[in-house]
Amino acid sequence: MNAEKRKETYSLHSLLGFLAMGKTGANPPVSAVLTDPDGSVLSSAHTQIYGGNHAERELYSRYPSSQVSDRKEDTNSDEIKNSNNPNETLTKVEFLSVSLEPCTHFGKTPPCRDLVIERKPKDIKLGWKDPNPLIASGDWEKYTKAGISVALDPMLAKVSLPYLQGFLTRVQTGRPWVWIKSATSKEGNFASKDKKKERVSSEEIDLSLQLLRAKVDAVAVGPGTVVSDSPSLHFRITEEMILSQKPGKRITELEPFFEAGSGLISSLLQYTKETAEIHRLEENLYQPYRVFVLDPNRLPLDTFFAKQLELTERIGEKKCIFFILTEDDTKPLSIELENQIQSLSRFEGVDIGPSDGGKFLEILGGLGINTLLCESGNFFPSFLCEELTETDRILEIRNENKSLPDGIPFVYQNDFLISEYQLGTNRIFVRKPQRST
């Protein structure tokens, strides 16, 4: 395979991983590509919605059994002779690349390893080994016995990490990959001193930010935001967003080779326009969980719950999760609040204290949430400050045309900068939290 074809294969893996991320549930958003020896794509696929086909099984479902050539002479390099009768049967040589090691266990579908061995590609390139303890990771003897060579591919690992980081983090730590996001003014403030409700980011970036919601498994807000903004938190695309979207570009030239956060934002800006219609057509499949932290002493108005009920009915699934911020977990919730939560969520409201950030993340990880986006005021920077790790990321959207001169500063605005982007009047900063354990 020449360099240009190899580059095209990596680009296809990136697009497939991007399309998969956000709709595979607890499963990893895996990409798979099958090529011939020249690098021409024979089939490609990504993991389907939770409970559906994994990437490898979906790929082969779209591609017929290994083709048999009728030619009996003048064999090409992409064919091998049948050992029993070399003059009659010629089998096509195929090369498989998969972003994550094929599963080896029975779950909602049979092991993908068995299917791959049955289809017998000549060579398999893998991005990452699977840390799932149910997987016999690195046990590739069955492949080699079947005459299939297997190797890890660092470039495939790089292009697929932005989409797999959440799954890898959750399986290895029991917690989601955390993003803390805030829109800020040109001074780096996220709100005015009086916390007046007003728009900070510009309309030019709305479509990209909605696509970010589609890529995560859950979006969370704190008790102040619930009361002041009555947010919906669902993923949506409108025609106005598509028309207002501006192209984005990366400003920073260098970044670490394996950098999932910058990779996700880069792919988001690259694929926003290209995939907008696909995401709009499959809007319900990309809906994140909507996570609300409530203060029982300052509950939102009934209009907030009515809005969430209307969304629940429209989407056709209860995708709200509620946490109750309290220092007295023996005090029962009111019957009215219990009923409201029950109408919107498959789970009971969970009591958490002001220092229970670890418990909060572990509960969400236990629900299979791989990637968590925290829409930030000042609650999550305080609540999660002792829980963030080096793999978690801070996302600041700074609108250079918005001024809040005496506002409340975003506490992460001076943390270590990994990448910077420009989209219209918005500067986008991806940072590593320094307040990490």
**Which residues are paired to 430 by β-bridges?**
395, 419
Question: Digits of tens for pLDDT over the chain (437 positions)?
Answer: 788 999 999 999 999 999 999 999 999 999 999 999 999 999 999 999 998 999 999 999 999 765 433 333 334 444 444 444 444 344 579 999 999 999 987 777 789 999 999 999 999 999 999 998 887 777 889 999 999 999 999 999 999 999 999 999 999 999 999 999 999 999 999 999 888 888 999 999 999 999 999 999 999 999 999 999 999 999 999 999 999 999 999 999 888 999 999 999 999 999 999 999 999 999 999 999 999 999 999 999 999 999 999 999 999 999 999 999 998 877 888 999 999 999 999 999 999 999 999 999 999 999 999 999 999 888 999 999 999 999 999 999 999 999 999 899 999 999 999 999 999 999 999 999 985 44
CA distance 261 to 395: 9
CA distance 405 to 188: 9
Query: What are the pLDDT digits (tens) for 291-350?
Result: 999 999 999 999 999 999 999 999 999 999 999 999 887 788 899 999 999 999 999 999
CA distance 257 to 56: 26
For residue 421, which of 250, 188, 181 has the smallest C-alpha distance? 250
Q: The domain 174-432 belongs to what CATH superfamily?
A: Dihydrofolate Reductase, subunit A (3.40.430.10)
Q: What is the pTM of this model?
A: 0.92
Phi-psi region of 273 (alpha: psi -120 to 50; beta: other; left: phi over 0): alpha
DSSP letter assigned to residue 279: H
DSSP letter assigned to residue 330: T
CA distance 182 to 397: 6
Token output for 310: 């209307």
C-alpha distance from residue 92 to each of 57, 180, 272 (Å): 19, 49, 37
CA distance 344 to 153: 44
CA distance 179 to 200: 19
Say if residues 57 and 111 touch (Cβ distance below 8 Å).
no
Q: Where in the chain is the domain with CATH 3.40.430.10?
A: 174-432
Token output for 303: 């209009």
**Which residues are paired to 323 by β-bridges?**
293, 350
- pLDDT of amino acid 91: 57
Close Cβ partners of 119 (under 8 Å, ≥ 6 residues apart): 60, 65, 66, 94
Q: Where in the chain is the domain with CATH 3.40.140.10?
A: 3-161
- pLDDT of amino acid 266: 97
Instruction: Give me the CATH code for the 3-161 domain, please.
Output: 3.40.140.10
Token output for 290: 């909507």
Give buried/exposed letters for 101-122 (b at 16+ CB in 10 A, else e).
bbbbeeeebebbbebbbebebb
For residue 372, which of 209, 177, 171 has the smallest C-alpha distance? 177
Dihedrals φ, ψ of 200, to 5°?
Answer: -110, -55
DSSP letter assigned to residue 427: E
CA distance 81 to 63: 22
